[in-house]
Structure 1
Amino acid sequence: MSKLLMTRRRFLASTGCSVAAAPLMTPMAFAQAPWDTRLIVLILRGAMDGLDVVRPVGDPHFAAARPTLAAGDGLPLDGFFTLHPALAPLHPLWAKGELGFAHATSTPYRDKRSHFDGQDLLEAGTGFDVKTGALRDGWLNRMLQAVPDIEADTAYAIGREDLLMLAGGAPVANWSPGTRLELSPQARRLIEMVYEEHPIYQAAVLEALDLTEQIAASEAVATGSDEDEDMAAMMEASSGNAAHLQMAEFAAQRLRGDTRIAAFSLSGWDTHGNQASGLPKALKQLAETIELLRVGLGPLWGKTGILAMTEFGRTVRENGSRGTDHGTGGLMLMAGGALRGGKVYGRWPGLEEAALYDRRDLMPTEDVRAYAARAMEGLFGLSGTVLSESVFPGLDMSQAPRLVL
């Protein structure tokens, strides 16, 4: 995110312009680019339990480690893994080769198992401790910096918090779902007069007003497309106007235009207790989000890749509260017509105690960043050199499979 936008965010927050500032403080972003493919990155905040989502029922140690969580039938995948029943709406995509997974993945983050540090490192995309200031920008923004002809108004963000993944030199504008700002001409003129002697501050406030008005106007225009009608029907049939559906709907609308990249976050993945009840709720939202994106994108689905990433995995053994605690090796979900789905990628390390990380966690065998790099390589034609030196400094992506058709 550019220093200018960060300055504007701090200014708007400090001056009490909460309504005007809301569009500039969000976890979803978009970027126009000179290619025709689309990438959507979902950050699953809270550490999704990949062992429950994609269950290694073929591993002889799985059932014993999870006496309650391993119970019940999953949906068949490849004979070794099964899919959590809450993702049943996405199961047809597996058969079509439009849904896949990468198991036993992680960032270089180890041992402390802090959500905040884990998410920071996931979004920074570097092995450095981001709190030391070694690299303050995010990997998706660094990717944008490597692309020529990215203009100041080609990136958008949606939600109520920043995404470090999009912070950096490439500009990112922002918007929050449900935000409306209606000012009379007299009120707007008053704002202009108040900040007349401070042109930088005046420009920041007016930019926020203009951005909100532009997006509100664009939403008010009914396109009448089949995709819009289908999305509206899905939203009414599922969870109404929940935030995850609003973000997915807006993303699909923008991606059908000039937008090429979208990133936003979904929460609710921290399942220390009663996981069998809590996890399906988060999975339902994830399934609804991906399905709405698929329907909303229409023919563009075949040019789209979706990556869903989480900060780390969870313990192999369930705890006394019938949940799981913070772990290490996790799971990446990938979807979209442009990706090679129908497969669980990764080298399975096994669940016997000696094979576990610290004798408690799934052992990571793949770097989750390498999968993201391969997706960008195939979708956008970026070179391995750019990806391993500029986007993910120091990354070895030689063992990661090619993900794009």
Structure 2
Amino acid sequence: MTASLSRRAFLTRSAILGCSAAASPLLTPISLAAAPWDQRLVVIILRGAMDGLDVVQPYGDPSFPGLRRTLTAGPAAGALDLDGFFALHPALAPLYPLWQARDLGFVHAVSTPYRDKRSHFDGQDLLEAGTATLGSAAGRDGWLNRLLQSVPGVEAETAYSIGHDNMLLLTGAAPVANWSPDISLGLSPQAVRLAELVMHDDPLFRDAFAEAQALSGSMQTMAENAMMAVDGMSGMSDMATMDARPKGKAKGIELIAEFTAQRLKADTRIAAFSIGGWDTHDGQQRALPRALGQLSQAILTLKAELGPQWKKTTVLAMTEFGRTVRENGTKGTDHGTGGAMLLAGGTVRGGKVYGDWPGLSEADLYQRRDLMPTRDVRAYAGWAMRGLYGFDRSVLEQAVFPGLDLGTDPGILR
């Protein structure tokens, strides 16, 4: 075995392992980027199509009770009243103090331009690309990366990539860093020593690994990558055994939020990660609270860990599309159109449900089945970035979200 393994070879092999890991449902990616601002932006992608009508329940709409036979509906069923018309799902009760402090708000009846086919894959791609259609030239980049491309001198966080490629949201020409904590590996002492040898002469890479080790509580992922990089080495199966298993979900999202907050307190100004579990075709009363618990934990952990920096932070939680207004035969909801987004942080003008409510009578529905979108979800993201960073409107409408008309300022930031 040669001990002079190059950093290029190491990174090449690590990238191969990362591509394989990207297909694993056990991994939760987090992407970060540094920028010359003091304000922080966190974008959370809610994968699986969150039912906004169950999360922010329009119990004041006279048509609503007849559309949801078994699902929670308003304060009488345990939801928390927000404003006399909308109520918050009980599973988000831990966030209610943020609503009272005006650090939490919601937007209803929003969507991307995606319509009718209701595919999770296409819907998520369009949400993260930020374009009007799939397959456009701009769609090869994510909208957060295009935002960074418009800022001269943007630099990535310390150069590391553990277990997963960047989310499409932050994919593109602008440099970003990537980290994922959710794989646990069992390593022999020989494997640990090999990792130390590989990274010994590269301070940048060695320090990045040490930081990742401290944050994830494990040396295992990077050392396994190092072993994969050694050409012609025999007996590797004896050096380490992979014990790939998901950590407890609550712990996983807590780690992600803690890591995000630590980086935001340092040089990072933009972060993005995803939370799954929103595809509630069956037994929504069981499934949705679990996903909402993840979202609640992420936001509360961000607030606690950020400390004073919470006042400079905006959190946007977005989903690919909503769900049908009518409950289905398996006590769930199917893929729909209009949905809701969540706003949180010390910069948010919370305590309000934003958006133009279209109504839930059959004539008011999209295709007589879905909540009618009344505004593009990208417009709210655009106004948030304009308010945080002062971007010219033309940059947002032409470069970040090509072809989008931002419309009037909804006033979501303080």
TM-score range normalised by the length of the shorter chain: 0.7 to 0.9
**In 2, Cα distance between equivalents of 1:106 and 1:44:** 13
Change over 3 Å in CA distance of 1:31–1:155 after alignment to 2:
farther
Q: How many angstroms apart in 2 are the aligned matches of 1:382 and 1:178? A: 35
User: Match of 2:369, as an amino acid?
Assistant: R
Q: TM-score, normalised by structure 2?
A: 0.81
In the alignment, which of 129, 135, 142 is matched to residue 138 of structure 1? Answer: 142
| 1:65 is the counterpart of 2:70 | no
- Is 2:209 the counterpart of 1:212? yes
Q: Which amino acid aligns with 2:91?
A: A
| AA at the equivalent of 1:41 | V
For the pair 1:163 / 2:149, whether they are aligned, the reply is no
How far the C-alpha of 1:27 sits from its partner, in A, is 2.2
Residues in 2 aligned to 1:47 and 1:84: alpha-carbon distance in whole angstroms: 16
Checking the alignment, whether the CA contact within 8 Å between 1:158 and 1:247 is kept in structure 2 is no
2:97 corresponds to which of 67, 76, 92: 92
2:5 maps to what in 1?
Answer: none
Whether the aligned pair in 2 keeps the contact of 1:350 and 1:356 (CA below 8 Å) is yes
| CA deviation after TM superposition for structure 1 residue 404, in Å | 1.7
Aligned residue runs from structure 1 range 68-83, under 5 A: 68-71=70-73, 72-83=77-88
Q: In 1, are the aligned partners of 2:160 and 2:209 still within 8 Å (CA)?
A: no
Structure 2 vs 1, CA of residues 314 and 240 (structure 1 numbering), >3 Å: closer, same or farther? closer
Scaled by the length of structure 1, the TM-score of the pair is 0.82
1:312 aligned partner, one-letter code: F
Code of the residue aligned with 1:171 in structure 2: it is: P
State the alpha-carbon separation in 2 of the partners of residues 395 and 159 from structure 1: 34
Counterpart code for 1:244: I
- 1:169-207 C-alpha deviation (Å, 9 max, x unpaired): 011222221567885666666799xxxxxxxxxx9xx98
Whole-angstrom distance in 2 between the partners of 1:241 and 1:277: 16
Q: Which residue of 1 aligns with 2:299?
A: 290
Q: Does 1:362 align with 2:366?
A: no
Which residue of structure 2 lines up, in the alignment, with residue 126 of structure 1?
131
Give yes or no for contact 1:12–1:18 (8 Å, CA) kept in 2. no
User: Equivalent pairs: percent with the same residue?
Assistant: 59
1:287 is paired with a residue whose SS is helix
For residue 37 of structure 1, what is the aligned residue in structure 2? 39
Counting matched residue pairs gives: 367
Shift of 1:402: 2.5
Partner in structure 1 of residue 151 of structure 2: 147
Cα distance in 2 for residues equivalent to 1:213 and 1:281: 33
Is contact 1:315-1:324 (8 Å) kept?
Answer: yes
Q: Distance in 2 between matches of 1:292 and 1:68?
A: 32
C-alpha separation in 2, matches of 1:16 and 1:262: 20
**Match for residue 249 of structure 1?**
258
Match of 1:28 in 2: 30
Shift of 1:300: 0.8
- 5+ unaligned residues in a row in structure 1: which ranges? 1-6, 193-202, 221-238
SS at match of 1:332: strand
Bigger mean CA offset, 50-59 vs 179-188: 179-188
Q: CA deviation at 1:162?
A: 3.9
| Offset at residue 214 of structure 1 (A) | 3.8
Counterpart position of 1:112:
117
* Contact residue 157 and residue 172 of structure 1 kept, 8 A: no
Give unmatched runs, 5+ long, in structure 2: 1-8, 218-247
2:285 matched residue in structure 1: 276
Matched residue SS, 1:291: helix
1:73/1:375 Cα in 2 relative to 1: closer, same or farther (>3 Å)? same
Of the structure 1 ranges 281-290 and 104-113, higher mean CA displacement relative to structure 2 is found in: 281-290
1:160 Cα deviation from its structure 2 partner: 4.1
Aligned-residue offset at 1:317: 0.2
Deviations 1:21-54 (A, max 9, x none): 99xx862111111111111100000000000000
Distance in 2 separating the partners of 1:391 and 1:8? 34
The answer (yes or no) to whether the contact 2:44–2:274 under 8 Å persists in 1 is yes
Alignment-derived partner of residue 46 in structure 1: 48
Residue 39 of structure 1 contacts residue 261 of structure 1 at CA under 8 Å; is this kept in 2?
yes
Query: Do 2:18 and 2:162's aligned partners in 1 also have CA atoms closer than 8 Å?
Result: no
Q: Report the secondary structure of 2:179's partner residue.
A: coil
What CA deviation, in whole Å up to 9, does each residue of 1:313-370 have, x standing for no partner?
0000000101000000000000001111111000000000011001100000010000
Letter of the 1:212 counterpart: F
1:387 aligns with 2:396: yes
Question: CA RMSD, aligned part only?
Answer: 3.2
